[in-house]
């Protein structure tokens, strides 16, 4: 057996050194989307390779067409084979004038809500990935070995669309395929309650362009007998939801499972404050599907949303044009077993079969990914949940996520792995914004949490 209490004590004693290591990593300006920072991205990868090698991993920098991957293996590891995923790249820092300190001069700050690590990447994702590496370091020092066979994959393009990820996973599938993935890019429910995210909504992106006349017309000359594509488009879009907020496409809800009782009860107990959630953006009433709470809607219900619409004259003033074309970008968030391909077909069929004479439609495909729903029957989930509760002294909850974390889908699709999504970020971490921070408690107790979870798996 591993000396878990020895490991936890070491983590506490090593705290300041661990912080210095994180600060070293945070000082590297690894902004992946801006080619001006290419060398810094490579430097961050090299720093991680060196650090992982220093604690006994067999780590290498693996170059791609974009920024490099870091891959590390435990030599001769035993126990379950786990793949840890994180990313070392960060978001740009503009607008720089809104930062209260240099985004790449990390520091510990006292705030009204406790000590925080301030700097770009503190929470997303350098701070989070270092919680895992520091837990591994503690095991190596205290026990001489890790409690599992661990592979680490660190990406440098997460904030810029991950163009190299799928090719890399495909090319290295045998090397990277494990029993379970650990993904540290999510958050806690609140600063006291740890969480495991088990549901990510999928997404289907569609764009339609309706064309009527072959040129813009004058509404005085043609207004009436000529089809107006804005009018056609608005009528088609208005038909996509019924009065109860449900999507009207035939079969849309066929593969939407009811919420498992255990999950429903947990979510109920979270006492999610919809008024506060909506109040933050100046809304007050839960819209959307009737008879579903806000939390249910965001985490477990599918949606059809219009993300952009344009047609005709949209500048200042007024023009009485009857436009030739009108366009809308539409996204469907998907849950359960909803099949993006079937839903795309159903959507296109709805549009085509309701299109009036003299109108044509063009569709553009903006991607499709199914929802990811982890099977919490896997005992690793309950074990991890218990250990998180032990560390934070508050029972950990299974949560959903309204958005998607593409890598989790790729692990499932390409490597046949489920992902245990554990993270210690908080809603007020200001990731992607000025003054990003990571609570010191997230960092320290996050590290201790990983130690407990690793020991339990």
For the segment 66-85, give every residue that binds its own copies (CB under 8 A): none
226 binds its own copies (CB under 8 A): yes
Kindly state whether residue 317 participates in binding its own copies, applying the rule CB under 8 A: yes
Output the smallest distance, CB 388 to its own copies, in A.
Answer: 23
Return all residues near 362 (Cβ < 8 A) that are at least 6 apart: 208, 209, 211
Contact pick of 1, 36, 112, 238 for its own copies (by CB under 8 A)? 238
Per the structure block, which two tokens stand in for 342? Answer: 């079937």
In the complex, least distance from residue 408 CB atom to its own copies, rounded to whole angstroms: 13
**Cβ 110 to its own copies, closest distance in Å?**
30
User: Considering the rule CB under 8 A, would residue 163 count as an interface residue with its own copies?
Assistant: no
- 229 is written with which tokens? 């594509």
346: buried, middle or exposed (CB in 10 Å: 19+, 13-18, 0-12)? middle
Distances in whole angstroms, Cα of residue 247 to Cα of each of 120, 157, 232, 254, 300? 40, 35, 19, 12, 15
Q: Show the site string, 241-280: x = touches its own copies by CB under 8 A, - = not.
A: x--------------------------------x--xx--
Single out the residue of 114, 167, 223, 379 in contact with its own copies (rule: CB under 8 A): 223
| Region 85-144 residues binding its own copies, contact defined as CB under 8 A | none
By DSSP bridging, strand 114-118 and strand 69-73 are unpaired
Token pair 């008879």 is at which residue? 291
Q: Please, are residues 426 and 436 in contact by the beta-carbon 8 Å criterion?
A: no
Touching its own copies, residues 340-379 (CB under 8 A): 356-358, 366-367
Residue 252 CA from chain centroid, whole number: 24
| Distance in Å, CB of 152 to its own copies, minimum | 27
From the list 86-94, 189-197, 246-254, 307-315, the region that binds its own copies by CB under 8 A is 307-315
Which range touches its own copies (CB under 8 A), out of 83-91, 92-100, 229-237, 373-381? 229-237
CB 28 within 8 A of CB 85: no
CB burial class (10 A; 0-12, 13-18, 19+) of residue 95?
Answer: exposed
Candidates 231, 342, 348, 412; binder of its own copies (CB under 8 A) is: 231
Tell me which of 213, 256, 355, 414 binds its own copies, using CB under 8 A. Answer: 213
Report the DSSP beta bridge partners of residue 117. 108, 438
């Amino acid at each position: 057996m591993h000396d878990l209490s020895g490991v936890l004590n070491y983590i506490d004693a090593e705290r300041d050194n661990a912080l210095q290591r994180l600060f070293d990593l945070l000082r590297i300006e690894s902004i992946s989307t801006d080619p001006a920072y290419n060398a810094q991205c490579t430097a961050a990868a090299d720093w991680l390779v060196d650090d992982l090698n220093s604690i006994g991993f067999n780590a290498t920098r693996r170059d791609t067409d974009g920024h490099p991957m870091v891959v590390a293996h435990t030599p001769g590891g035993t126990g379950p084979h786990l793949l840890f995923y994180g990313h070392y790249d960060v978001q740009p820092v503009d607008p720089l004038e809104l930062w209260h300190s240099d985004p790449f001069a990390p520091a510990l700050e006292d705030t009204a809500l406790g000590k925080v690590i301030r700097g770009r990447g503190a929470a997303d994702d350098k701070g989070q990935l270092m919680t895992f590496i520091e837990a591994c370091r503690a095991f190596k020092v205290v026990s001489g070995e890790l409690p599992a066979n661990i592979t680490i994959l660190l990406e440098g393009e997460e904030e810029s669309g991950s163009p190299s990820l799928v090719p890399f996973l495909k090319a290295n599938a045998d090397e990277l395929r494990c029993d379970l993935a650990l993904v540290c890019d999510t958050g806690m429910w609140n600063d006291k309650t740890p969480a495991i995210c088990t549901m990510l909504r999928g997404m289907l992106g569609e764009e339609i362009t309706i064309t009527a006349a072959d040129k813009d017309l004058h509404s005085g000359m043609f207004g009436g007998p000529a089809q107006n594509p804005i009018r056609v488009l608005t009528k088609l879009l208005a038909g996509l939801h019924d009065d109860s907020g449900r999507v009207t496409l035939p079969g849309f809800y066929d593969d939407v499972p009811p919420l498992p009782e255990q999950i429903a009860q947990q979510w109920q107990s979270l006492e999610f404050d919809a008024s506060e959630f909506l109040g933050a953006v100046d809304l007050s009433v839960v819209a959307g599907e009737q008879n579903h709470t806000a939390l249910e809607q965001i985490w477990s219900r599918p949606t059809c949303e219009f993300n952009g619409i344009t047609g005709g004259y949209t500048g200042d003033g007024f023009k009485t044009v009857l436009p030739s074309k009108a366009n809308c970008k539409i996204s469907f968030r998907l849950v359960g077993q909803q099949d993006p391909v079937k839903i795309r077909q159903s959507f296109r069929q709805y549009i085509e079969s309701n299109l009036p004479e003299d109108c044509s439609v063009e569709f553009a495909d903006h991607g499709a990914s199914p929802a990811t729903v982890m099977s919490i029957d896997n005992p690793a989930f309950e074990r991890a949940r218990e250990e998180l509760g032990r560390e934070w002294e508050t029972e950990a909850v299974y949560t959903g996520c309204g958005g998607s974390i593409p890598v989790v889908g790729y692990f499932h699709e390409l490597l046949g792995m489920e992902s245990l999504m554990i993270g210690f970020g908080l809603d007020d971490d200001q990731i992607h914004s000025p003054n990003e921070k990571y609570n010191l408690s997230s960092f320290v107790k996050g590290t201790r949490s990983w130690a407990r979870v690793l020991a339990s798996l």
